[in-house]
Amino acid sequence: FLGEQCCTMKILTLLSLLATHLSASSVNIEENAGQFFSSGHTNNWAVLVCTSRFWFNYRHVANTLSVYRSVKRLGIPDSHIVLMLADDMACNHRNPKPATVFSHKNMELNVYGDDVEVDYRGYEVTVENFLRVLTGRLPPSTPRSKRLLSDDRSNILIYLTGHGGNGFLKFQDSEEISNVELADAFEQMWQKRRYNELLFIIDTCQGASMYERFYSPNLMALASSQVGEDSLSHQPDLAIGVHLMDRYTFYLLEFLEDIHPSSKANMNDLFKVCPKSQCVSTPGHRTDLFLRDPGSALITDFFGSVRKVEITMETINLTEPIQQVDGSVSDGSSVVPPGVHR
Amino acid sequence: VCVRVCVRVCVCACVCVCACVCVCVCVCVCVCSSVPQPKDDFQEELVIRPLHSGDIYASFQFRTLWETDFMRGNKVSHYRLFPKSLGQVISKFSVRELHISFTQGYWRTMQWGQPFLPSPPGAELWVWFQDSVTDVDGTWKELTNVLSGIFCASLNFIDSTNTVQPSASFKPLGIGNVTDHRFLRYATLPREIVCTENLTPWKKLLPCGSKAGLAVLLKSEKLFHSSFHSQAVHIRPVCQDWQCKTTSWELRQTLNVVFDLHTPGQGKLEWSLFKMFSRTLTEACPLASSSKIYIDITDDPQGEQFEVSPATHLLSQAMVLGDRRTFSVYDLTQQITFGTVRSLNLLIRWKSRDMLRPLLHAERYVAGYGLQTGEIHTLMYNNHPYRSFPVLLLDSVPWYLRLYIHTLTVTSKGKDNKPSYIHYQPSKDRVRPHLLEMLVQLPPNSVTEVTVQFERALLKWTEYTPDPNHGFYVGSSVISSLVPSIVAMDTNSTREQPLFSSFFPCKEESSYFMRVYTEPLLVNLPTPDFSMPYNVICLTCTVVAVGYGSLYNLLTRSFQIEEPSPGLAKRIANIIRKMRGVPPL
């Protein structure tokens, strides 16, 4: 009867372990669910802009494309990315390897890829078009791929790179956007409820001056250098003949390559990217307008994508027969059975 | 293709036993009826033609035929092989024919012969609208915007300053007796760059995408590393049978590429699919009714100078470009084509060969010096030894090159050659470009030169592009003609024939239609120094500051005498004297 006792003891311990595991995992599920909705956003958008023209500004296009690549890899689809490249480097006749843009020397990583969709290119990248995309005031015949169709539950990532100075960013060597205009554009976006939270990253010389004038809530900003400092480029490739990337974005790309869609890394890790020893300039950030604690904002809140999932306790009957619509079905209209939510 | 629509009819009989247990027996019967769906058909083909200079020319064509009706506001909503984005564009903008091409590079007619489908460098778009459209210009503007989103290109720069309505060139290539050229619009963007972002949406329009069939060969790294690359989309209504009782809509996606012999670094006259595209073929597109590769072996049918492996016994003859040519055919729908290794890598080896001189080719250049005036010269060569034929020359020149039409001269063999038809529409500053269409008879074995002088305009400073020192482009001239052919052409377009020989409809047996594009021109306009406004402001402010400041000082400054402060010794002496009560020094 010892054997029986052992058996029952075993069964009891197994059952108790199972019960604790179940309760623990259910708590885990609730925690996960809670964290899932803590940021309050339901969709993600990205606006990635390279503002420089000419072959020797290859690195700015490579910067933008490496952020594009990371953002696509982490889940944001092309329909939610507005990519603006002011010049074509990949099919430029000076490019020794056409249809490629490299970020690492010795041609290790082709950030251009085989599946890229550029929405604004060449002469279309102007200050006016950029501000129209942000504020949504586009002519009615603008196609969807060129619009930022965000709503009040969208988290938007805005990345700018190019040549800049104290309070301005140069577009295509012929016009500038000032930090006041940018701040006003974000305020327009806030008043029209076009974003839930916005992350602004800028990689130019004296980049911190561009976020000094922000005054709308829920904005977080990062820059590659302080006022009075220059952002430096990373490394040249002797075969291509130009510098391939800027330092800040190079280390940002390295950091993002380690992030996967379910990563729990938060914004404090992002602020540590590229310290002065690696970047030579001092990266800066601004979080006073951001209502949440940056430590609770995940990287994937801005760089990744969210699938809208609604957990419901309602039961839905799927076994009712599909009803025929009046007339023939040959015109191909789809039939929605009653009682099934779309 | 029929769609089965099934209706389930259930008859249930319940038997209750013991007032608490019910047993139900249901008998369900499916009654299916077939509802005919409009037929659609997809064919793909690849034609490989080794060129005289050692380069190799590959031409892909993907054709979808669909028996449906987009016209007269018919609502189409069930798409299968035909891409929905293009179908919606056709319905919404009442398009009758749409031809759009994106080209990188210039087709060298003298070295490569004639292409199957010609296209000018940059982007070219021409559209015939249906006669139900009331505001053609507004519809055209919206259509270019929508197409710029679909193809990721800057087609939204097409506006009235670079759109023309040709009156004689660009007749409809599909069915239709529409001759009112008010419904035709033609525009080119010679500056447009073609890169992977244009290829990606183009590939997504194919039924199999780039996953199966011939489209797996379309890898951008190899395609753009070439001398010439052109991709195009052509949509038109065609007849299904000889009497044209049923019509269907045809969508052709074409991609022409010429690979340079010396680029991979080998220099041998040996090409394979793997060398060209860095891929081999493993299967045909399952949705295709026909999937074939044609290799042009006309110049050496015995195989002495020319070798193709794996060998095939399927041969086909086709009448294309006025010549009867022989092709080796590989049918990808047959499993045997792929052999035991389950992959097809065609290898083509040949020794250098002669080329048939093209009958018609053209050149264009700008002559003159300075930044004020210039002259455009267009040369058209007729290389036929004894036949002369007429050509239609279409020139669309932007408004900032002011053409002087009174200086237009057309000379052949040194003598004046008067065109039999001239249509000229003068430009209007910032509104529309020049349009010049002429029908010129080219004498046999001659060069015809068309010259016209122009003056360059000074643009407003906001109208310059961000890189104005690059220059401004003038789109290619289009030369369309019916060239006499050596062999009798086939006028029955509904017969089963390869896609590459059935693009241009053939109305006569003795000639075939050909279109030749000249080079685009790059002209420099007088460009201001854009730093001057800044310089002027600095200079003016300095002059005003120095001049006004000096004058103000002179007028308002008054002088006062001031005692200098005494030295240390004197100060100490003054303190002692004050203590003694004696007046200071």
Tokens of A147: 């619009």
Q: How far apart are CA A186 and CA A286, in angstroms?
A: 15
Give A125's contacts in chain B (Cβ within 8 Å): none
Non-local (6+) Cβ contacts of A311 within 8 A are A33
More confident position, B29 or B396: B396
Give A330's contacts in chain B (Cβ within 8 Å): 3, 35-37
Give A147's contacts in chain B (Cβ within 8 Å): none
Residues B154, A124: C-beta atoms closer than 8 Å: yes
Q: How many CB atoms lie within 10 A of CB B66?
A: 21
Task: Map residue B517 onto helix, strand or coil.
Answer: strand
pLDDT above 90 for B516: yes
pLDDT digits (tens, 9 = 90+) for B555-579: 999 888 888 887 888 889 889 999 9
Kindly indicate the confidence band of residue B24, based on its pLDDT and cuts at 50, 70 and 90.
Answer: low
pLDDT digits (tens, 9 = 90+) for B65-76: 998 887 776 777
DSSP notation for B345-360: --EEEE-----PPPSE
CA distance A74 to chain B (A): 20
Is A209 within 8 Å of A23 (Cβ atoms)?
Answer: no
**Maximum pairwise Cα distance, chain B:** 145
Residues A331, B197: C-beta atoms closer than 8 Å: no
Residues B221, A173: C-beta atoms closer than 8 Å: no
**Bridge partners, B517 (sequence order):** B478
Kindly indicate the confidence band of residue B474, based on its pLDDT and cuts at 50, 70 and 90.
Answer: very high
Average pLDDT for A180-191 = 96
For chains A and B, CB pairs below 8 A equal 99
**What pLDDT shows up at residue A18?**
67
Average pLDDT for B19-38 = 55
pLDDT above 50 for A335: no
A91/B contact by beta carbon, under 8 A: yes
Kindly indicate the confidence band of residue B432, based on its pLDDT and cuts at 50, 70 and 90.
Answer: very high
Residues shown for chain A: 342
Average pLDDT for B469-487 = 91
The residue to which tokens 């003859």 are assigned: B317
Kindly indicate the confidence band of residue A329, based on its pLDDT and cuts at 50, 70 and 90.
Answer: very low
Helices B196-204/B136-151 angle, 10° precision: 100
Residues A143, B466: C-beta atoms closer than 8 Å: no
Q: How far apart are CA B189 and CA B170, in angstroms?
A: 17
**What pLDDT shows up at residue A30?**
56
More confident position, A330 or B289: B289
Query: Is beta strand B21-36 parallel, antiparallel or unpaired with respect to B40-50?
Result: unpaired
- Sort A332 into a burial class: Cβ within 10 Å, 0-12 / 13-18 / 19+: middle
Best B5, B8, B221 residue to mutate vs chain A (most A CBs within 10 Å): B221
pLDDT above 60 for A34: no
pLDDT above 90 for A41: no
A173/B contact by beta carbon, under 8 A: yes
pLDDT above 90 for B434: yes
Give A122's contacts in chain B (Cβ within 8 Å): 154, 191, 193
DSSP notation for B29-41: EEEEEEEEPPPEE
More confident position, B32 or A249: A249
More confident position, B17 or A335: B17
pLDDT above 60 for B32: no
Give B194's contacts in chain A (Cβ within 8 Å): 91
DSSP B160: T
Give A52's contacts in chain B (Cβ within 8 Å): none
Residues A332, B78: C-beta atoms closer than 8 Å: yes
DSSP B71: S
A88/B contact by beta carbon, under 8 A: yes
Lowest mean pLDDT among A138-152, A316-330, B374-388, B487-501: A316-330
Tokens of A262: 């379910």
Lowest mean pLDDT among B380-389, B523-532, B562-571: B562-571
**What pLDDT shows up at residue B77?**
81
Which of B390-404, B479-493, B519-533 has the largest mean confidence? B390-404
Residues B78, A172: C-beta atoms closer than 8 Å: no
Residues B224, A99: C-beta atoms closer than 8 Å: yes
Please report, for residues A149, A216, A223, A252, B112, the alpha-carbon distance to residue A195 in angstroms, rounded to integers and kept in the order given.
10, 11, 20, 24, 55
**Bridge partners, B21 (sequence order):** B17
User: Does the reported pTM lie above 0.95?
Assistant: no
pLDDT above 60 for A308: no
Q: How far apart are CA A287 and CA A199, in angstroms?
A: 10
pLDDT above 70 for B315: yes
A327/B contact by beta carbon, under 8 A: no
Residue A302: closest CA among A123, A75, A96, A130? A75
Taking CA atoms, what residue in B is nearest to A52? B466
pLDDT above 90 for B462: no
Which of A41-45, A334-338, B304-308 has the largest mean confidence? A41-45
Percent of chain B past pLDDT 90, that is, above it, reads 56
CA distance A136 to chain B (A): 16
Taking CA atoms, what residue in A is nearest to B144? A141
Q: How far apart are CA A110 and CA A102, in angstroms?
A: 5
pLDDT above 60 for B20: no
Average pLDDT for A16-43 = 62
Give B200's contacts in chain A (Cβ within 8 Å): 114-117
CA distance A75 to chain B (A): 19
- Average pLDDT over chain A reads 85
Please give the helix or strand (H or E) that residue B579 lies within, else none: helix B568-580
Give the nearest partner residue to A329 out of B35, B196, B201, using CB atoms.
B35
Kindly indicate the confidence band of residue A326, based on its pLDDT and cuts at 50, 70 and 90.
Answer: very low
CA distance A331 to chain B (A): 7
**What pLDDT shows up at residue A271?**
93
Query: Is beta strand B421-425 parallel, antiparallel or unpaired with respect to B434-442?
Result: antiparallel
**What is the SS3 assignment for B478-510?**
EEEEEEECCCCCCCCCCCCCCHHHCCCCCCCCC
Give A117's contacts in chain B (Cβ within 8 Å): 152, 197, 200-201
Is B498 within 8 Å of B45 (Cβ atoms)?
Answer: yes
Percent of chain A past pLDDT 70, that is, above it, reads 83
**What pLDDT shows up at residue A336?**
41
Task: Map residue A81 onto helix, strand or coil.
Answer: strand
Q: How far apart are CA A242 and CA A251, in angstroms?
A: 19
DSSP A339: T
Give A142's contacts in chain B (Cβ within 8 Å): 145, 149
CA distance B145 to chain A (A): 6
Task: Map residue B323 onto helix, strand or coil.
Answer: strand
Residues A116, B200: C-beta atoms closer than 8 Å: yes
**What pLDDT shows up at residue B567?**
86
CA distance A155 to chain B (A): 24
Residues A142, B142: C-beta atoms closer than 8 Å: no
Q: How far apart are CA B238 and CA B27, in angstroms?
A: 50
Residues A331, B35: C-beta atoms closer than 8 Å: no
**What pLDDT shows up at residue A340?**
37
**What pLDDT shows up at residue B13?**
62
Lowest mean pLDDT among A172-186, B322-336, B535-549: B322-336
pLDDT digits (tens, 9 = 90+) for A219-268: 999 999 999 989 999 888 888 999 999 999 999 999 999 998 888 899 99
DSSP notation for B417-478: ---SEEEEE--BTTTB-EEEEEEEEEPTTEEEEEEEEEEEPPPPTTSS-S-GGG-EEEPPPE
CA distance B526 to chain A (A): 18
Give B473's contacts in chain A (Cβ within 8 Å): none
User: Quick check: ipTM above 0.90?
Assistant: no
Kindly indicate the confidence band of residue A15, based on its pLDDT and cuts at 50, 70 and 90.
Answer: confident
Lowest mean pLDDT among A304-308, B324-328, B430-434: A304-308
Active site residue A341: no
A118/B contact by beta carbon, under 8 A: yes
**What pLDDT shows up at residue B151?**
95
Q: How far apart are CA A285 and CA A221, in angstroms?
A: 5
Is A82 within 8 Å of A119 (Cβ atoms)?
Answer: yes
Helices A127-135/A179-191 angle, 10° precision: 20
pLDDT above 70 for B408: yes
- Average pLDDT over chain B reads 87
Non-local (6+) Cβ contacts of A231 within 8 A are A203, A204, A205, A207, A224, A225, A246, A247, A248, A279, A281
Average pLDDT for A303-322 = 76
Taking CA atoms, what residue in A is nearest to B192? A122
Amino acid occupying residue B397 = V
Best B11, B88, B148 residue to mutate vs chain A (most A CBs within 10 Å): B148
What counts of helices (H) and strands (E) characterise chain B? 8, 28
CA distance A242 to chain B (A): 20
Residues shown for chain B: 585
Please report, for residues A112, A244, B59, B521, the alpha-carbon distance to residue A241 in angstroms, rounded to integers and kept in the order given.
18, 9, 34, 29
**What pLDDT shows up at residue A331?**
41
A333/B contact by beta carbon, under 8 A: yes
Average pLDDT for B315-322 = 84
DSSP notation for A268-279: HHHHTSS-HHHH
pLDDT digits (tens, 9 = 90+) for B170-214: 999 888 766 788 999 999 999 999 999 999 999 999 999 889 999
A332/B contact by beta carbon, under 8 A: yes
**What pLDDT shows up at residue B319?**
83
Marked catalytic residue, from A60, A80, A104, A205: A205
Average pLDDT for B154-167 = 94
DSSP B525: P
Q: How many CB atoms lie within 10 A of CB B309?
A: 11
Q: How far apart are CA B517 and CA B421, in angstroms?
A: 20
**Bridge partners, B13 (sequence order):** B25
A310/B contact by beta carbon, under 8 A: no
Compute, in degrees rounded to 10, the torsion defined by CA atoms A67, A72, A78, A81: -40
pLDDT above 90 for B442: yes
Please report, for residues A102, A244, A247, B370, the alpha-carbon distance to residue A109 in angstroms, rounded to integers and kept in the order given.
6, 11, 16, 46
Residues B146, A124: C-beta atoms closer than 8 Å: no
**What pLDDT shows up at residue B167?**
92
A56/B contact by beta carbon, under 8 A: no
Active site residue A205: yes
Average pLDDT for A5-28 = 64
Task: Map residue B249 onto helix, strand or coil.
Answer: strand
Give the nearest partner residue to A143 out of B35, B148, B191, using CB atoms.
B148
CA distance B36 to chain A (A): 8
Tokens of B203: 């590939």
Is B119 within 8 Å of B517 (Cβ atoms)?
Answer: yes
Give the nearest partner residue to A53 out of B8, B37, B466, using CB atoms.
B466
Long-range contacts of B25-30 (CB under 8 A, 24+ apart): B30/B6
Best A85, A95, A118 residue to mutate vs chain B (most B CBs within 10 Å): A118
Average pLDDT for B8-21 = 58
